[in-house]
Amino acid sequence: MKRPLLITGAVILLDQLIKLWVKTSMPLGKQIPVIGEYFRLYFIENNGMAFGMELGGESGKLFLSLFRIVAVFGIGYYIYTLSRDKASKYLIIAMSLIFSGALGNIIDSVFYGVIFNTGTFAEPAVLFPAEGGYAGWMHGKVVDMFYVELINIGRDEAPSWLPNFLFGPDDRWVFFRPIFNLADAAITCGVFTIILFYRKIFKHQSPAKEENTATE
């Protein structure tokens, strides 16, 4: 279990340190160029899932928070069984990244509404404000801050063979538009690890299947 614990601990610690710094140092909507226009810190908050997707209303937010908690317990138990059964290290790493990313965003949802005030477009949020937080337990907003803009071209500049669905309402193709956090990135890396190492992860037959094959 050392590898999953190390991965989970490192991702959650770094994710939360970045989020705490952003919340207490940057007003909502502030942008800080890191690598020109290609990579910026851009502080926003969302009520929902990875990359800004969300379910509507307070009931949707509560359902999502509860669903995340149940899912994380399930993933955690699955990682335990993988480690116990000495499964592929690639699968263990992938699931640990997904687990840590999900848990990182759960922390925002469960605690941030209670320990932060709202914050504004002029002032950063305050940690443990005297007047109390901006929401109740499990109704906190998820903090996002990474904006990577690799492509930004208008329809009139683009080659004619590019499909129309790539262009947004502003007639520009921006890749990519979602603003995300380290927890989102960990989940994405976990999924891509499974895809990239699919054959190595699932190449071994189960012992029962191997026994059946050998006796035929």
What are the residue numbers of the active site?
Answer: 144, 184
- Residue with the two structure tokens 């029962």: 208
Rounding to the nearest 10 degrees, give the CA dihedral for residues 79, 84, 88, 94: 10
Where are the strands (E) in 47-183, listed by range? 142-148, 151-154, 172-175
Question: How far apart (Å, rounded) are the C-alpha atoms in residues 122 and 27?
Answer: 6
Please name the residues in contact with 95: beta carbons below 8 A apart, sequence gap of 6 or more. Answer: 4, 75, 78, 79, 82, 190
